[in-house]
Amino acid sequence: MAEIREEGAARLEFPPVDEQLALLRRGAVDLVSEEELTRKLERSRATGRPITVKAGFDPSSPDLHLGHTVLIRKMRHFQQLGHRVVFLVGDFTAMIGDPTGKKATRPQLTREQVLAHAETYASQVFRLLDRERTVVRYNSEWLSPLGAEGMIRLAGRWTLARMMERDDFRTRYQTNQAISLHELLYPLVQGKDSVEMAKIPGLGCDVELGGHDQIFNLLVGRDLMKEEGLEPQVVLTVPLLVGLDGHDKMSKSLGNAIAVEDPAAEIYGKTMSIPDALLGDWFLLLTDLPPGEIEERKRRLAVGELHPKAVKQELARLLVTDFHGAAAAREAEAEFERVFSSGGVPDEMPEVTVAAGLPLLTLLVEAGLAPSRNEARRLLEQGAVAIDGERATDPQARLASRDAAYVCKVGKRRFARLLVRPAG
């Protein structure tokens, strides 16, 4: 748990409120309310004390992807203005499972799974956040001691009718999809986070950030704070980033994500594959390029003054630089040009040992190059698989039954060196 550091007697200087609001509005969807945020920022300038901004992350998986960084970048905007951010690890709420946007109940995680996932989060978020200006807390600190009695009392502060105002709950109920009782607790315990943080001396909870799909949960926090006579938090939400497929929100489970810890070449290559229509939003939500410059690129793209490839290269360089540095960005771009523009093979690729005699349909799945046999069949039928540069289309084709190594290419960007070993 990070120490809460007071700035002492030194009076902090903050930019004018209108300048702060201009940055904080960038890419925002909901702001409840701008008037309240303005008052908090004016008070901050008058007292020389930063406001506290909270964002919660449930460690339901070990990886953060670029969709998560939209929110993390908004946290960084507050830091750039001199304010304090709290990275709240939802180690308690992750064991419930956030039902937001889900058509079915999430699998419940064990505490051991949650803590294992949480260990990887800090190293990833501090690629964007200032470690010295970030407070890390775990919500089990105040939620675990509630016990059964405390949870019952918390549940008694809300009605089923109000809970069913949530679109996803209402939709699941109307379509006869199961809603587990523990899911109904999630918005309440998330709101309880804000209440408890507001009571911590020297910390507080002035603003809560979240994805646009979290707006119901964040507003529950405002209501609970008002009920306890606390100054309610301002709620600011950001859009859900559309993933590589150009249709659905970025999600590892949908296979349309770029992970924060992906290698530089992978981040670069995946960025080059996004649909042209995503360029404006990705620049706005994933970079610090001024909005005016983004609009100018969009205009020049529309009239043909800029080629989409050049704009994607700029975006890819910026993203790789954020997570791996400028030198890695230059190397990734050179590698991309050599491999994908000149038809070459990357110098480095994963090596996978597979048993000889397996049909390609099975081999692609076991090598991790296709998520399922159906997807492997589709890739083969579409001519998207090549072995040592030769297109492979027969699902039942087999590689040599002796020691051998083959370069397998799937799609435009995925390579693996298959080390074939005799079975047994």
Give residue 186's Cα distance to chain centre. Answer: 20
pLDDT in tens, 169-178: 888 888 888 8
Res 5 pLDDT > 50:
no
pTM (2 d.p.)? 0.77
First to last CA, the chain: 50
Percent of the chain with pLDDT over 70: 92
Is the pLDDT reported for residue 399 higher than 60? yes
pLDDT score recorded for residue 184? 85
Whether the per-residue pLDDT at 423 is higher than 90: the answer is no
Most confident among 117-126, 183-192, 281-290 (mean pLDDT) = 281-290
β-pairing, 351-355 vs 414-421, is: parallel
Residue 121 has pLDDT above 70, yes or no: yes
What burial class does residue 368 get, using C-beta atoms within 10 Å of its C-beta: 0-12 exposed, 13-18 middle, 19+ buried? exposed
Q: How confident is the model at residue 165 (pLDDT cuts 50, 70, 90)?
A: confident
Position 166 scores a pLDDT of 77
CB 388 within 8 A of CB 407: yes
Residue 407 phi, psi (nearest 5): -95, 120
pLDDT at residue 4 is higher than 60 = no
* Average pLDDT along the chain: 87
Greatest mean pLDDT among 59-63, 80-84, 389-393 lies in 80-84
The answer to whether residues 76 and 128 touch, using CB atoms and an 8 Å cutoff, is yes
Q: State the average pLDDT over residues 288-306.
A: 93
Task: Please check the confidence at residue 424 and state whether its pLDDT lies above 60.
Answer: no
Kind and range of the H or E element at 234? strand 234-238
Within 96-139, residue ranges assigned H as helices are 111-125
In 3D space, the residue among 4, 421, 55, 41 whose CA is nearest the CA of residue 221 turns out to be 55
DSSP labels for 271-301? HHTS-GGGHHHHHHHH----HHHHHHHHHHH
Is residue 267 pLDDT above 70, yes or no? Answer: yes
Point out which residues pair with 391 in neighbouring strands. 386
Tokens of 136: 């890390």
Distance CA 191, CA 105 (A): 20
How far apart are the C-alpha atoms of 211 and 236, rounded to whole Å? 8
Residue 319 dihedral angles phi and psi, to the nearest 5°: -70, -45
pLDDT average, residue stretch 320-343 = 87
CA distance 296 to 314: 14
Q: What is the pLDDT of residue 9?
A: 45
